[in-house]
Amino acid sequence: MSLTPDLDRDAVNLIRGFAMDAPLAANSGHQGTAMALAPLAHVLYSRVMKFDPSDPFWADRDRFVLSAGHASILQYSMLYLSGTGLQLDDIKAFRQFESRTPGHPEAGHTDGVEVTTGPLGQGFANAVGMALAERILANKFGSDAVDHHTFVIAGDGCLMEGVSHEAASLAGHLQLGKLVCIYDDNHITIDGETELAFSDDTPARFRAYGWDVVELGEIADDIDALEAALVAAKQTDRPSLLVLRSHIGYPSPDHTDDHEAHGLAFDEGDVTRTKQVMGIPDEPFWSPTELVDAYRGHAAERGTAARTAWEARAGDVIESPGWTACWNRTGLPGWDADLPTYEQGESVATRKAINAAFNATLDKLPGLVSGAADLTGNTGTKLDGETTNAPDAPGGRQIAYGVREHGMGSALVGMALHGGVIPVGGTFFVFLDYMRPPVRLASLSHAKAVFVFTHDSVGVGEDGPTHQPVEHLATLRAIPHLHVIRPADANETIAAWIDTVRHDGPTALVLSRQNIEVVTDGSAVERGAGVVRAAADPDIVLVASGSEVALCVEAAERLAEAGASALVVSMPSWDRFDEQDPDYVDEVLPIGVPTLAVEAGVALGWHKYADDAVSIERFGASAPGNVVMEKLGLNVDHVVARANELISVLTD
């Protein structure tokens, strides 16, 4: 069945009505953008995208990203109309506590929402990652199984944000032809007209990136012209930017092209006058049953036909072990059987150990895709024998992101939420500051992305304080739902990779530049912390992460020579340790025993586990790494002295 012109018109009017009514009822939200883009959204969902409301996450669906996430009511209206699961009461509960229609789209919260958007530009860059994942999987499994597009709606704000520049440059370089961005060129920002701060020639910029750019002009209300433009964009072999001149707040007689329409501009009188122009009843949440039923029937027919045709042609592929491993984001049977182990006393940088882990599991982790921000060899993210992804190597599992930490982080999130791949991206730990937004959004959306951060402390050495992270680990640990592992040595690094693959969410691996003595068997990783050096009746507990664990072992031996018994604990993952039962916690950190934490960073947070801390409460210095560590107190003499002091203070 197809929709009649009258149903097309009424559907657009319903979306525009919801765009006014839901924010008005919530006394919060953004009305004008959703109103202006109602015809575009209608065309995407009813005519262009492969989308099955009965199974909104089937593997070969087209992906839709609302990078302009403040216009969330636009997407919710489409999910309601299409029959994806949202009901009228959900629309009425817009922006209310625990509703399915929050203020910005949230992946995993509302069926049909692919990525969590809101921070402008992030969704655009996520879409680049999605298109890259599609290309890699299509090359691996064939076009019968994987052949879909990623559509993204971005506004002026998205394209002003720096992350969009990085991501657009990468997409153009890689020639991601399955990516279609509709640029909502409405000339409006919150402060006023875009000309206040923005005079870029956006089409020229994207042409310079290598995109196929089409300036659509004034067709924002012409659904047939919109359909033709979108269908044509699907035929190109480069990413497409469709520049759509829209008018925020249209067709309001009061607020069309008004910058106030970016927010909550429409009061009841404004809504009444606009609905009179539209020719629909002046009632909140106008939603005629015959329209909704017809729309849902049309969406179900289109979606079911597309999905069942895919199942028929891709049946053998999607039942294969490789497909299952990719889409379950895990490995083939025995994927972890060939991982290396290291002898006590060996000296290995954990960035080198993670590289060994990647390559030992590469063949049996078919979804593993790895790269770095121009630091592939430095961060251990090089996959042996793998081709670098490029237009003439579309299946390459090695990704060269270039010096684009912002874009890389957001692309990783998009790849993870696309599904079918386990994306790994590496950079120096200090450059976490360049990619904190995607790390946070990965955590918010439970995206299974792997962030590899190396050169993790002042042990970096001569590069100096600009490259020596002292506060970064504490800030990572503060992010909810982010799994953070700072392994003590090579064995813990191998265990960390096993834990990362098994973890259903984002992981940050914090690794050393310098060689570290192997002092553990790796078992502490599974439960977040574990005893490395036992003591029957300890006088003190020394607890540490990363390279400082070996330091604590040496300090414990020095203490023993002087008659003090020290229990040494490696705590590679606070978040994992916090999940353990109280008996295990007491076993690792015995009650009543003085506890000293040792870490080459700020002490923030260690008070939860320790009575005192040997830490670094200043920026680093330019010198050889071992010298910086020594001068800043990360040495045996200082740890022993602080341990003795703590024993004296807490046992007197």
Rounded to an integer, the average pLDDT of 270-290 is: 97
- Three-state DSSP class for 367? coil
Residue 328 lies in a domain: no
Pairing of strands 398-400, 368-372: parallel
pLDDT band for position 254 (50/70/90)?
very high
- Looking at the fold, whether 381 and 401 belong to one and the same domain comes out as yes
Residue 159 lies in a domain: yes
Residue 332 lies in a domain: no
The enclosing domain of 544 has a CATH number of: 3.40.50.920
pLDDT band for position 572 (50/70/90)?
very high
Per the structure, the count of domains in the chain is 3
- Burial string for 291-318 (b: 16+ CB within 10 Å, else e) reads bbebbbebbbebbeebbeebeebbeeeb
- Looking at the fold, whether 495 and 571 belong to one and the same domain comes out as no
- Looking at the fold, whether 40 and 184 belong to one and the same domain comes out as yes
Using CA atoms, how far apart are residues 202 and 213, in angstroms rounded to an integer? 10
At 68-127, the pLDDT tens digits run 999 999 999 999 999 999 999 999 999 999 999 999 999 999 999 999 999 999 999 999
Q: Closest Cα to residue 290, out of 10, 538, 580?
A: 10
Q: For residue 596, give Cα distances in angstroms to 104, 539, 609, 612.
A: 43, 11, 9, 5
> Catalytic residues, which ones?
405
Using CA atoms, how far apart are residues 210 and 620, in angstroms rounded to an integer? 42
Residues of the chain above pLDDT 90, percent: 97
Residue 331 lies in a domain: no
Residue 312 lies in a domain: no
- Looking at the fold, whether 510 and 573 belong to one and the same domain comes out as no
Domain interval for residue 222 = 5-307
Cα within 13 Å of Cα(160), Cβ side: 17
Of 278, 307, 336, the domain-final residue: 307
Q: Is the pLDDT of residue 395 over 80?
A: yes
What integer pLDDT is reported at residue 1 of this predicted model?
A: 57
What integer pLDDT is reported at residue 650 of this predicted model?
A: 72
Residue 268 lies in a domain: yes
Rounded to an integer, the average pLDDT of 49-56 is: 97
- Looking at the fold, whether 287 and 422 belong to one and the same domain comes out as no
- Looking at the fold, whether 555 and 504 belong to one and the same domain comes out as no
- Looking at the fold, whether 115 and 244 belong to one and the same domain comes out as yes
Residues of the chain above pLDDT 70, percent: 100
- Three-state DSSP class for 539? coil
Distance between start and end Cα atoms, the chain: 84
- Looking at the fold, whether 28 and 128 belong to one and the same domain comes out as yes
Residue 587 lies in a domain: yes
What integer pLDDT is reported at residue 191 of this predicted model?
A: 85
Average pLDDT, rounded, for the chain: 97
* Residues 255 and 32 sit within 8 Å (Cβ to Cβ): yes
Rounded to an integer, the average pLDDT of 406-432 is: 98
pTM above 0.85, yes or no: yes
As given in the structure block, the two tokens for residue 118 are 């809101």
Of 517, 547, 580, the domain-final residue: 517
- Three-state DSSP class for 312? helix
Q: Is the pLDDT of residue 192 over 90?
A: no
Pairing of strands 240-245, 212-217: parallel
At 301-357, the pLDDT tens digits run 999 999 999 999 999 999 999 999 999 999 999 999 999 999 999 999 999 999 999
- Looking at the fold, whether 15 and 160 belong to one and the same domain comes out as yes
The enclosing domain of 114 has a CATH number of: 3.40.50.970
Residue 232 lies in a domain: yes
What integer pLDDT is reported at residue 193 of this predicted model?
A: 87
- Looking at the fold, whether 438 and 463 belong to one and the same domain comes out as yes
- Looking at the fold, whether 36 and 164 belong to one and the same domain comes out as yes
Of 467, 494, 517, the domain-final residue: 517
- Three-state DSSP class for 532? strand
55 by Cβ neighbours in 10 Å (0-12 / 13-18 / 19+) ranks as middle
Listed in sequence order, the residues at least 6 apart from 545 whose beta carbon sits closer than 8 Å to its beta carbon are 473, 486, 487, 488, 570, 571, 572, 599
- Looking at the fold, whether 263 and 399 belong to one and the same domain comes out as no
What integer pLDDT is reported at residue 652 of this predicted model?
A: 61
pLDDT band for position 189 (50/70/90)?
confident
Q: Is the pLDDT of residue 2 over 90?
A: no
